[in-house]
Chains A and B, each alone.
Chain A
Amino acid sequence: MNPHTVFLVLIVLGAVWTACWAAVLVSSRRTVPFERLEKSETRIRITLLAGFALVAIVLFAVTLRWLPFRESRVAKMGAPHTIVTVTGMQWSWALSTRQLPVGVPIEFAVSSRDVNHDFALYDAHGRLLAQVQGMPGYTNHLVYVFPAVGEYTVRCLEYCGLGHHTMSATITVTDR
């Protein structure tokens, strides 16, 4: 999922909503008896309810195919080629390896030594690719396939104290 696509969806939906909203505001300069509108209002409500319910059901079905959790990703991508142990701590990351192969499933087993952290992978263009929480007392498993060779940045996206913004690491992805 590309964040720019998400933004585009917001802008398109937002523009449609803004146009409807503005049309209602502009319409208010004229008057009609409210009784004449009530049947239309009910019809609009039923149509919108049916339409939105349908969209929600479709979105939910799509979601089920694209769940980011370990079992869903393993079923889709295959068994992990490499398992990387990741421990978050105020304010650094400890990774069992920082050299990883391209194009194969990598499993990050993420935990924390102190507070909640969020292990987030960024590409060289500064785009967020995937994330999982690092929590004290738990190990969360993120499976991810690096699409291209290059340098990737790990950032912490769960606020973890004074040095939160400095908590980063680098992963180098190479040809196998």
Chain B
Amino acid sequence: MTAAERPVSTALLAPDRSNGAALRASMAYMVAGLGTVLLMGLLGLLMRLDQAGMLVISPAWFYRVMTLHGSGMIAAVLLAALGGIAAAVSATTPLSARALWIALVVYMTGNGFVIFATLVGGFGGGWTVLYPLPEHGIVWTLQAALAIYAGYFFVALGLLLFCVHILFAMRRAHGSLAKALAWRFLFSLGRDKRDALPRPVELIAVVIAIDGIAAAGAGLIYLVPLFAQASGAITTVDALFAKNFVLLFGHTIANLSIYITAGLVYAALPAYTGRAWPTSWPVAAAWNLIIPLMLLNYSHHLYADFAQPVGLQLLGEIGSYAVALPSFIVTIIGALALIYRSGIRWTVAPILFALGLWGWVFGGLGALLDATIPVNQVMHNTLWVPAHFHTYFVLGALAFALAYLWSILDALSGSSERRGTRAAAWLYGIGGAGFILMFFVSGANSVPRRFAVHLPEWQVYARIAVPFVLLLALSLAWLSWDLSTRFGSAWRATRRPVVGP
């Protein structure tokens, strides 16, 4: 039987009675995340129209929209990713639906504060909330800055609760975190197989939970002094200290999204190719290496801060190169090997997974170039930076998250696939590629990022990008509509046992 004839396995995707409640909570994360992505995407379109000179908005509104778009997208993609990994893990590891819902409510409270700070409070300090700008806004108040700090506090707290729960659940399921990380197998170079190995997605869940806790901790270390200063307990905060911690927080949560959603590829792609993707020694080694490496590469955003110790600068470059190796050699090559001559049927989910693989690598290439210190001198803070992270957000993490949500809803609802939706998935790739390519072209032509007003000679790049953004928006809207038609029956299906083939 070829993969084309083989039914999609529901064994890893669908629930039995034990995980239906956790799966519903996970689906709520994914739907809330992807719904927010749609809204934030419209704000992105608005900004690109403004930069093209096709729809002029005031700089005050542009920067408020920019702040909401950036913080909203980072939070939304991470939320969808967290929901995906919880759903994937819950198929074999019991998770507490209550814990997931509590973390979601806390996280969404943070999002509420961010929306309030920007739309009502007029805050336009950028998603990086780089100290001391939030307190020197001139056009917004200290209260608006405190509201955005509160928003970030609750988002970090929600992430922390989620990650702590994942670690407890994995420890309970495997006996210890060392076993959940396959350490005996790893350090014996694959010879000692006495412990039952975790599935790759379980191992990845532990990895990202550890880094998620580190990221949330960095966020709290950043925020506590700022609250202390606002209350008058301290007079000033060191700008370089603050910058290191806000980037360790922000850059790591942006990275988490792509690494979490890479875990979803391990969870779902084998079901479409009909080939197993077990926890081999390279998989265990790569993902254990990612724990420290993901925390090192943030400092490539501080190369222009010459006051930063040179050792940390060089560590940023080494960390950026190093983290790419296990990701590419093990995950990307592993996924391509799974697809190669597999007879896979190109339905919506595999199309989106394949697009995600392309975008992750292409965006990674742009990131690696920018992480090379002499290159960074002439590329950083131009549109090259949004180019690389939009590539592995739109055509990486988001594509993977959409693919995984599709897998779940498809398996649960049992609805047949529409041909138009497959076309929409490919068009999503074309729209996304054109959109990000114009960011790269703009960066190569030294167009600054975060400019409300573009010079006439810069506007041409945004004008070329606009039709691609529209194509991206329309294809995403089509995919979302099709997903929404499956959601009700899929939700109900979580309340009854589903038997895998």
- Chain A residues close to B by CB (< 8 Å): 1-4, 6-7, 9-10, 13-14, 17-18, 20-21, 24-25, 27-32, 34, 37-38, 41, 44-45, 48-49, 52-53, 56, 59-60, 62-64, 66-70, 90, 114-116, 118, 120, 122, 126-133, 135-142, 155, 157-166
B105 at the interface (CB under 8 A from A): no
Residues B282 and A45 in contact, CB atoms below 8 Å apart: yes
Give the docked Cα–Cα distance between A25 and B337 (Å).
10
Residues of A close to B198: CB separation below 8 A? none
- Evaluate whether A118 and B381 lie within 8 angstroms (CB atoms) in the complex, with A48-B328, A68-B374, A162-B139 already known: yes
Tell me, rounded to whole Å, the shortest Cβ–Cβ distance linking B425 to chain A.
13
Which residues of B are at the interface with A, using a C-beta cutoff of 8 A?
A: 2-3, 59-60, 63, 124-126, 128, 130, 132-133, 136-139, 236, 238-240, 243, 275-276, 282, 303-307, 310, 313-314, 317-318, 321-322, 324-325, 328-330, 333-334, 336-337, 339-344, 346, 354, 357-358, 361-362, 365-366, 369, 372-375, 377-382, 384, 440-441, 443-446, 448-453, 455, 457
- The secondary-structure label for the interface of chain A is mixed
Q: A29-B343, A141-B306 are in contact. Are A6 and B444 (CB under 8 A)?
A: yes
The smallest beta-carbon distance between B236 and chain A, in angstroms, is 8
A6-B369, A63-B374 given; A164·B450 CB < 8 A: yes
Residue in A14, A31, A135 whose CB lies within 8 Å of B239? A135
Q: In the complex, which of the residues A28, A67, A68 contacts B343, with contact meaning CB atoms closer than 8 Å?
A: A28
A31 touches B365 (CB 8 A): no
Contact of B444 among A4, A37, A66 (CB under 8 A): A4
A157 to B60, CA, bound (A): 18
Asked if A18 contacts B369 (CB within 8 A), the reply is: no
By the criterion CB–CB under 8 Å, are A133 and B339 in contact? no
Give A166's nearest chain B residue, CB to CB: B453
Contact B375 A1, beta carbon cutoff 8 Å: yes
Q: Is the CB of B341 within 8 A of A131?
A: no
Q: Compute how far the CA of A162 lies from the CA of B303 in the bound complex, rounded to whole angstroms.
A: 25
The answer to whether A10 touches B440, judged by C-beta atoms less than 8 angstroms apart, is yes
Q: Which residues of the other chain, B, contact A155 by a CB distance below 8 angstroms?
A: 448
Q: Which of A41, A59, A120, A161 contacts B372 (CB 8 A)?
A: A59
* CB atoms of B381 and A130 under 8 A apart: no
Q: How far is the CB of A40 from chain B (nearest CB, A)?
A: 8
- Contact B132 A136, beta carbon cutoff 8 Å: yes
Most chain-B CB neighbours within 10 Å: which of A28, A52, A129, A161?
A: A28
Within the assembled complex, what's the spacing in Å between the Cα atoms of A161 and B124?
7
Query: From A28, which residue of chain B is reached at the shortest CB distance?
Result: B344
Distance, CA A63 to CA B310, complexed state (A): 12
